């Protein structure tokens, strides 16, 4: 099985020992505490689940700057984005060596993790500007990732964490949320050797489904892990429970038994395009995937990134040997009227745009809202019905 990044075995930051967990929960109630941002909470969950292996906690400003500028921390290790715990104010924890981090996304702000504080630093405007530009390739506040990153505060608290809870993800998505440890174990139990992962924050239309089949066939994979983001999205994106139901129905009906796992992870979308694609590959290796599908405008938003920037970054910027996982590079997929099947558009010779079944997101949402299923060349009818029910519930 493919090794995790930076260690022979996964080193999740979640405290699994029951007695130790109970002891730390009791200790946490006696510690100075602070409610952290949603983005920081997602980072804590990812560290707890082993996806960010071998990261032990939140980065110092120096490490965060290294991750942003070179994808390399001060100790020489590889990490593709800053992982910061940014606060608007640190008065409640100033001078403390051990603190409790509280969850912003659950009622009552329960304890998410305990941190051994290494440093409390102020991030300068210039440093925030560099990190924003390097990670998001823009400083435009209209970019949802830029707005979220810059809206957290300027005080960075760094140090190793012991994670005590997986936030609302485990409670709200008990059948879907899985840690990197659990996915590795299931891959082993299923006997899969070559595994391709597919990232999604949306329901999967026919083109996505066929792209997964293409990747499995061309790579000779035993299994597919459909790995959906369960955290916060931008306004207008379809909620996770609806996506989950639609994807499960597709797998149930259109994938052979023991060929696909439907799983999810707790993290807020960055919409950072190329840099987020590298992060996605990073934690897919940690969860045991040997290959990862990256298509056109992966993890992008608006017109901030070129169509294939999320693929070329692996050639141009990722340090050589940083990851073992291999990238399956895909183009846009669509139904060819000429060939009567889904194809990668770049592989379809003698085709014009009108030879494909192409529908805009706006058009699809309009159809679903009116109770009209998109054509079968675009979406499976059973999947479309789940989405129709959702959109009509909004009216």
pLDDT digits (tens, 9 = 90+) for 344-377: 999 999 999 999 999 888 899 889 989 999 999 9
pLDDT at 109 over 90: yes
- Place domain 18-170 in its CATH homologous superfamily: Sulfate adenylyltransferase (3.10.400.10)
For strands 57-58 and 155-163, give the pairing.
antiparallel
Question: Cβ distance 263 to 227 under 8 Å?
Answer: yes
Instruction: Identify the helix (H) or strand (E) that includes residue 183.
Output: helix 180-190
Q: Give the pLDDT confidence of 35-80 residue by residue, as tens digits.
A: 999 999 999 999 999 999 999 999 999 999 999 999 999 999 999 9
201 is catalytic: yes
How far is the C-alpha of 373 from the C-alpha of 64, rounded, in Å?
46
Instruction: Identify the helix (H) or strand (E) that includes residue 342.
Output: strand 341-344
Return the structure tokens found at 8.
Answer: 């022979």
How far is the C-alpha of 84 from the C-alpha of 158, rounded, in Å?
7
pLDDT at 189 over 80: yes
Options 109, 190, 202, 329, the catalytic residue:
202
Question: For the chain, what percent of residues have pLDDT higher than 90?
Answer: 89
Which pLDDT value is given to residue 311?
97
Q: Identical fold at 18-170 and 176-393?
A: no
Question: Which of the two residues, 326 and 297, has the higher pLDDT score?
Answer: 326
Confidence of residue 238 (pLDDT cuts 50, 70, 90): confident
341 is catalytic: no
Domain 176-393 has CATH 3.30.200.20: no
Question: For the chain, what percent of residues have pLDDT higher than 70?
Answer: 99
Closest listed residue to residue 359, CA positions, set 378, 338, 344, 343: 378
How far is the C-alpha of 41 from the C-alpha of 176, rounded, in Å?
19
Q: Residue ranges per domain, the chain?
A: 18-170, 176-393
How far is the C-alpha of 357 from the C-alpha of 351, rounded, in Å?
12
How far is the C-alpha of 132 from the C-alpha of 65, rounded, in Å?
10
Which pLDDT value is given to residue 375?
94
Options 201, 248, 329, 365, the catalytic residue:
201
How far is the C-alpha of 171 from the C-alpha of 175, rounded, in Å?
9
- Looking at residues 333-354, what average pLDDT do you find? 93
Closest listed residue to residue 52, CA positions, set 11, 112, 24: 11
């Amino acid at each position: 099985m493919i090794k995790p990044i930076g260690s022979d075995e996964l080193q999740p930051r979640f405290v699994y020992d029951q007695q130790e967990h109970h002891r730390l929960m009791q200790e946490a109630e006696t510690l100075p505490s602070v409610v952290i941002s949603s983005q920081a909470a997602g980072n804590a969950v990812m560290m707890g689940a082993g996806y960010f292996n071998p990261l032990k906690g939140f980065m110092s400003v120096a490490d965060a700057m290294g991750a942003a500028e070179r994808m390399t921390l001060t100790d020489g290790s590889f990490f593709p984005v800053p992982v910061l715990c940014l606060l608007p104010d640190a008065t409640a924890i100033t001078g403390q060596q051990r603190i409790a981090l509280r969850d912003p996304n659950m009622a009552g702000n329960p304890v998410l993790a305990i941190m051994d504080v290494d440093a409390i630093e102020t991030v300068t405007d210039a440093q925030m500007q560099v990190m924003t530009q390097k990670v998001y390739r823009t400083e435009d506040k209209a970019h949802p990732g830029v707005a979220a990153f810059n809206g957290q505060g300027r005080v960075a608290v760094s140090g190793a964490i012991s994670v005590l809870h997986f936030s609302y993800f485990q409670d709200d998505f008990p059948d879907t949320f899985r840690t990197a440890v659990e996915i590795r174990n299931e891959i082993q139990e299923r006997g899969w050797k070559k595994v391709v992962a597919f990232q999604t924050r949306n329901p999967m239309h026919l083109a996505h489904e066929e792209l997964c089949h293409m990747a499995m066939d061309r790579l000779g994979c035993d299994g597919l892990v459909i790995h959906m983001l369960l955290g916060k999205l931008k306004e207008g994106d379809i909620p996770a429970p609806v996506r989950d139901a639609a994807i499960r129905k597709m797998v149930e009906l259109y994938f052979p038994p023991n060929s696909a796992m439907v799983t999810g992870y707790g993290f807020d979308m960055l919409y950072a395009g190329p840099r987020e694609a590298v992060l996605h590959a990073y934690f897919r290796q940690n969860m045991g995937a040997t290959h990862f599908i990256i298509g056109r405008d992966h993890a992008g938003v608006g017109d901030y990134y070129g169509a294939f920037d999320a693929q070329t970054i692996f050639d141009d910027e990722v340090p050589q040997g940083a990851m073992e996982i291999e990238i399956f590079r895909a183009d846009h997929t669509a139904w060819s009227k000429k060939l009567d099947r889904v194809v990668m558009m770049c592989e379809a010779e003698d085709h014009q745009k009108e030879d494909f079944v192409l529908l805009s997101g706006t058009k699809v949402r309009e159809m679903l809202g009116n109770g009209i299923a998109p054509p079968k060349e675009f979406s499976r009818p059973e999947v479309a019905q789940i989405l129709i029910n959702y959109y009509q519930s909004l009216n």
